[in-house]
């Protein structure tokens, strides 16, 4: 009986550790989003996930700032309406070791298919939504759903 109790507590402990790990982002202080060059209005939607705070930039001015630091004290930035757990789930769909990937994957926005931006630490990756390694497929699909939801909510 004593062993069963120990096994029960160990299983609870392991379950809580694994489930808590799922809700910790794989990458911290990350900016992700979608952008389109040949576009009239609302061409880029960027999401910053930093600590326990999420912000959304729907202003189209993200690329006009030096070092892409538009999230710092700007009027076009709003608190995210996307739940933190959903954004962490999205980030955790990114492949491990993003540092091994080049800055440009595929040919983002070369033929009006738009592009995906992933900025973390001191690295930026521009990802082609149609021509990229399979490891990015689930991330790209979920990001697309979130961006489309934001476009319909804001516009």
Q: What is the mean pLDDT of residues 12-28?
A: 57
**Residue 122: what pLDDT?**
81
Look at residue 67 in the predicted model and tell me its pLDDT. 57
How many CB atoms lie under 10 A from the CB of residue 47? Answer: 24
pLDDT tens-digit readout, 117-152: 998 888 899 999 999 999 999 999 999 998 888 877
Looking at residue 64, its pLDDT comes to 67
So what's the pLDDT on residue 19?
44
pLDDT of residue 49: 84
The predicted structure's pLDDT at residue 28: 77
Average pLDDT for 60-67: 65
Residue 66's Cβ-side half-sphere holds a number of Cα atoms within 13 Å equal to 0
The CA angle 108-73-120, to the nearest 5 degrees, is 40
pLDDT for residue 107 is more than 90: yes
pLDDT of 115: 92
The answer, yes or no, to whether residue 17 has pLDDT greater than 70, is no
Strand partners, 55: 48, 79
**CB within 8 A of 58, min separation 6: which ones?**
42, 45, 76, 78, 150, 154
């Amino acid at each position: 009986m004593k062993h069963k109790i120990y096994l029960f507590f160990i299983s609870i402990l392991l379950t809580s550790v694994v489930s808590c790990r799922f809700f910790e982002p794989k990458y911290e202080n990350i900016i992700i989003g979608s952008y389109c060059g040949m576009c009239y209005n609302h061409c880029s939607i960027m999401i910053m996930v930093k600590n326990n705070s999420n912000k959304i930039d729907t202003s189209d001015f993200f690329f006009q700032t030096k070092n892409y630091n538009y999230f710092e004290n700007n009027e076009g930035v709003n608190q995210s309406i996307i739940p933190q757990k959903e954004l962490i789930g999205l980030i955790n769909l990114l492949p491990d070791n993003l540092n091994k990937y080049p800055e440009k994957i595929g040919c983002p926005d070369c033929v009006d298919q738009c592009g995906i931006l992933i900025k973390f630490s001191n690295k930026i990756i521009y990802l082609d939504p149609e021509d990229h390694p399979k490891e990015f497929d689930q991330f790209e699909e979920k990001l697309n759903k979130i961006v489309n939801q934001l476009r319909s909510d804001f516009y």
